[in-house]
Amino acid sequence: MAARAFWQGQIRLALVSIPVEIYAATKSGAAIAFRQIHEPSGKPINYEKVVSGIGPVDRDEIVKGYEISKGNFVLLDDEEIEAVKIESKRTLELVQFVDADEIDVFYFEKPYYVVPQDDLAEEAFIVLREALRSKKKVALGQLSVRGREQLVSLKPCGKGIVMETLRYEDEVRAAHGYFKDIPASKPAKEMLDLAGALIDQKSAKFDAGEFHDRYVDALKRLVAKKAKAKGKRILEDVEEPAARGKSNVIDLMAALKSSVGKKPAAAVSKPKPRKRA
């Protein structure tokens, strides 16, 4: 496998140990990065480490500090921080199993592919995968990586297993503070039926290849045009939103009926998806 393993070790379930390798399932997208440039000279701007009232300082004079109150810091050196890092035991202990739909979506952070390390590990790996699938459960454990302990979940994915890193409880804001003022009232049945019909019209199997970052695409076009124009200013044409009427009051029923009656654009212009090799 060409990719470099994020982690190698063993999954342990009671007395059963399964040697595995874990690989990142995602990669960075085609983002556009900008540098700040000194326009008169055309040279990039660099940044210096400075102290207020003192000016630039040497890198070897810098230590880490944790602010315990306004303007008061506890200073820590690299050796002290290193001493409290969690030692990696190269073992992912499965300590709990929960229903697959029991974990709220905002706890999930990043996915990884889990594969057996060798042929000898395959049998136990497949047993774990199929046991999770048959019980419709997600396995939970804690993995030590780069000195910190990460909460993770394991669930079947095709012939393999996907591990997802999870946020801890104190990393997630409570939803109640944001949703408390939203009415709990039920909509009229006719409106609900119309909204359901609209959802049915636009329902399809998920294909990530159908979506792309239009902003990044526009920036790439702009950079290419700018390079060709040799410095001349270029403004991309922007599609103006439809003009609104004088009133901000929306007739929801009329809007739903109009939306359901309108033929979806995707049904006209969307090409047939190509079969993957």
Is the CB of residue 216 less than 8 Å from the CB of residue 32? yes
Same domain? 21 vs 109: yes
Q: How far apart are CA 103 and CA 168, in angstroms?
A: 12
Here the CATH number for the domain that contains residue 152 is 2.40.290.10
> Which of 31-45, 154-168, 262-276 holds the top average pLDDT?
154-168
User: Average pLDDT in the 125-141 region?
Assistant: 95
Instruction: Say if 183 falls within a structural domain.
Output: no
- Of the pLDDT bands very low, low, confident and very high (cuts 50, 70, 90), residue 163 is very high
Return mean pLDDT, the chain.
Answer: 83
With respect to residue 50, please indicate whether it lies within any of the assigned structural domains: no
Percent of the chain exceeding pLDDT 70 equals 84
Same domain, 165 and 215: no
* 159 vs 101, higher pLDDT: 159
The pLDDT tens digits of the residues spanning 139-155 come to: 999 988 877 889 999 99
Lowest mean pLDDT among 71-75, 143-147, 237-241, 259-263: 237-241
With cut-offs at 50, 70 and 90, classify the pLDDT of residue 234. low
pLDDT of residue 177: 86
Task: Check residue 237 and give its pLDDT.
Answer: 59
Question: Are 193 and 165 part of one and the same domain?
Answer: no
What lies within 8 Å, CB to CB, of 3 at 6+ separation is 23, 24
The parent domain of residue 101 ranges over 7-26+85-171
Are 161 and 193 in a shared domain? no
User: What does the pLDDT read at residue 274?
Assistant: 52
Pairing of strands 160-166, 55-56: unpaired
Residue 268: pLDDT band with limits 50, 70, 90 = very low
**DSSP secondary structure letters along 137-203:** EEEEEEEEETTEEEEEEEEEETTEEEEEEE--GGGS--THHHHTTS--PPPPHHHHHHHHHHHHHT-
Long-range contacts, stretch 198-207, CB < 8 angstroms, 24+ apart: 198/256, 198/259, 198/260, 201/260, 201/264, 202/264, 202/266, 204/266, 207/273
Domain count along the chain: 2
Q: Is residue 230 part of a domain?
A: yes
Same domain, 158 and 200: no
Neighbours of 137 (CB within 10 A): 18
> Is residue 162 within 8 Å of 112, Cβ to Cβ?
yes
pLDDT, one tens digit per residue, over 47-85 is: 888 888 888 888 888 888 988 888 888 888 888 877 776
Rg from Cα positions in the chain: 27
In the structure, what pLDDT confidence band is assigned to residue 107 with cuts at 50, 70 and 90? very high
Strand pairing partners for 163?
112, 154
Read off the tokens for 36.
């700040």
Q: How confident is the model at residue 231 (pLDDT cuts 50, 70, 90)?
A: low
With a cut of 70, say whether residue 225 has pLDDT above it: yes
The beta-strand segments (E) located in 7-118 are 7-13, 16-24, 37-38, 43-44, 50-51, 55-56, 64-69, 72-76, 91-99, 108-116
Band of residue 277 on the pLDDT scale cut at 50, 70, 90: very low
Position 265 pLDDT exceeds 70:
no
Q: Are residues 117 and 158 in the same domain?
A: yes
Instruction: Give the pLDDT mean for 105-130.
Output: 94
152 and 100 in a single domain? The answer is yes
